[in-house]
Amino acid sequence: MMDRVTDAGPSTPIVLGIETSCDETGVGLVRGNDLLADAVASSVDEHARFGGVVPEVASRAHLEAMVPTIERACTEAGVRLSDVDAIAVTSGPGLAGALMVGVASAKALSIALGRPLYGVNHLAAHVAVDQLEHGPLPEPTVALLVSGGHSSLLLVEDVTSAVTPLGQSIDDAAGEAFDKVARLLGLPFPGGPYIDRSARDGDPAYVEFPRGLTGPRDMERHRYDFSFSGLKTAVARWVEARQRDGLPVPVADVAASFQEAVADVLTRKAVLACRERGVDTLLIGGGVAANSRLRAMAEQRCADAGIAVRVPRPSLCTDNGAMVAALGSEMVARGRPASSLGLPADSSMPVSEVLAG
Ligand code: KG4
Ligand code: ZN
């Protein structure tokens, strides 16, 4: 699968990337900025009846999926394991047990093949993956990463070594809010795509839901932070009041109004960060980047502010191995030293640590 034609020749190293921070077992192969393969096995169906990811279930699923997913990636790329020049793996942040499966597998491969190992930060990998689709990332870039596990605003001055957190969610992640509100509305898990679809037939101004952390005092203390738990509670109260009154819940209108509140806050703060930091590129990644309203609003507001928006295609926005391989490839290209074989699975790895020691 060659998506962009670049000049990565046969002497450019092939990097294999492994991602297991949550419920996707991802194995990607890249050469330079060329995507060779992106194999993903998801355990999402096994978590659906719990309404959220169950860590033990995810870990076991990674263990079972790892070898077949590596084999699938190699077949897709027409590459043998012995052709791989370096291994990259998500060292953190994520679910501890899930990360351990990926890290242990990557160490085994590194030893067996005699190739260097790069333990990388999952959030920085969400940023680096865009290079596979849109080419070299302008630096600095502001990145808005929104998924079931994270909502972060980052200043990326060097994706391999200088990533600074500007803000993050102080409670629920954006995707988590989508999933919880979907549940309230009787929509399936994971709820984001269902809310997105339902909202198309709804009125985004039907209910004026709260915009968390946007008041004057919050803008002093939490300028680039997000909060979605108050919004989720507001939706719950609104739905309960409606049911108490014996009235039907207008699902599409509530979905559209909720989605509008999330997209408004995310894009408002992302554009503000770009303006205040003098950055003219905004990258959006993570599963919620697939949201149609978020994308449309980001494009509109960024166009008004003279900011270029980059959003990788949906399969590269959700967790995958290609993103880890992309960051590993950039580490190799910039001559960063490899990690030690003692590298940890660090569930709370700070984003300022792009490469594990
Ligand atoms: O990146 P991702 O696969 O990583 C995890 O956090 O596991 O993101 C999944 C999240 C879920 O919360 C899902 O509801 C949300 O992304 N999501 C969406 C959309 N597609 C996926 N949220 C809003 N709109 C969408 N179209
Ligand atoms: Zn992620």
Do 254 and 239 meet the contact criterion of CB atoms below 8 Å apart?
yes
Query: What is the pLDDT at residue 215?
Result: 96
Do 35 and 131 meet the contact criterion of CB atoms below 8 Å apart?
no
Residue of 146, 172, 191 lying closest to 51 (CA atoms): 191
Site of tokens 């950055």: 279
From the CA of 246, how far away is ligand 2's center (Å)? 40
From the CA of 302, how far away is ligand 1's center (Å)? 22
User: Which residue's alpha carbon is at the smallest distance from atom 14 of ligand 1?
Assistant: 192
Q: Which of 20, 152, 318, 323 to mutate to test the pocket of ligand 1 (most atoms within 8 A of CB)?
A: 318
Query: What is the pLDDT at residue 285?
Result: 96
Query: What is the pLDDT at residue 107?
Result: 98
Query: What is the pLDDT at residue 6?
Result: 55
> What is the end-to-end Cα distance of the chain in Å, rounded?
32
Nearest ligand, CA of residue 122? 2
Query: What is the pLDDT at residue 115?
Result: 98
Q: What does the alpha-carbon distance between residue 112 and residue 82 come to, in Å, rounded to a whole number?
A: 10
Report CA torsion sign: 55, 291, 253, 258: positive
Q: Which residues line ligand 1 (CB under 6 A)?
A: 22-23, 147-149, 175, 178-179, 190-193, 196, 286-288, 290-291, 318-319
Gyration radius (Cα) of the chain, Å: 20
Query: What is the pLDDT at residue 141?
Result: 98
Q: Which of 62, 126, 147, 232 to mutate to test the pocket of ligand 1 (most atoms within 8 A of CB)?
A: 147
Atom of ligand 1 nearest to the CA of 174: 12
Provide CB contacts within 8 A for 23, sequence distance 6+: 42, 43, 44, 47, 53, 58, 61, 98, 319
Query: What is the pLDDT at residue 337?
Result: 97
Site of tokens 């009041």: 241
Query: What is the pLDDT at residue 3?
Result: 47
Query: What is the pLDDT at residue 1?
Result: 42
From the CA of 198, how far away is ligand 2's center (Å)? 24
Do 120 and 80 meet the contact criterion of CB atoms below 8 Å apart?
no
Atom of ligand 1 nearest to the CA of 53: 7
Burial of residue 79 (CB within 10 Å: 0-12, 13-18, 19+) is: middle
Do 16 and 107 meet the contact criterion of CB atoms below 8 Å apart?
no
Atom of ligand 1 nearest to the CA of 178: 14
User: Which residue's alpha carbon is at the smallest distance from atom 23 of ligand 1?
Assistant: 192
Q: What does the alpha-carbon distance between residue 9 and residue 168 come to, in Å, rounded to a whole number?
A: 39
Say what the pTM is.
0.94
Query: What is the pLDDT at residue 2?
Result: 43
Kindly state the tokens that stand for 63: 């263990």
From the CA of 194, how far away is ligand 1's center (Å)? 10
Q: What does the alpha-carbon distance between residue 277 and residue 140 come to, in Å, rounded to a whole number?
A: 9
pLDDT tens digits in sequence order for the chain, 357 residues long:
444 445 577 789 999 999 999 999 999 999 999 999 999 999 988 888 887 789 999 999 999 999 999 999 999 999 999 999 999 999 999 999 999 999 999 999 999 999 999 999 999 999 999 999 999 999 999 999 999 888 999 999 999 999 999 999 999 999 999 999 999 999 998 899 999 999 999 999 999 999 999 999 999 999 999 999 999 999 999 999 999 999 999 999 999 999 999 999 999 999 999 999 999 999 999 999 999 999 999 999 999 999 999 999 999 999 999 999 999 999 999 999 999 999 999 999 999 999 998
User: Which residue's alpha carbon is at the smallest distance from atom 5 of ligand 1?
Assistant: 148
Query: What is the pLDDT at residue 48?
Result: 82
Strand partners, 39: 27
From the CA of 98, how far away is ligand 1's center (Å)? 18
H-helix segments, the chain: 44-47, 55-77, 96-113, 122-128, 130-134, 174-184, 192-199, 216-221, 229-244, 251-277, 292-305, 314-317, 321-333
Query: What is the pLDDT at residue 5?
Result: 47
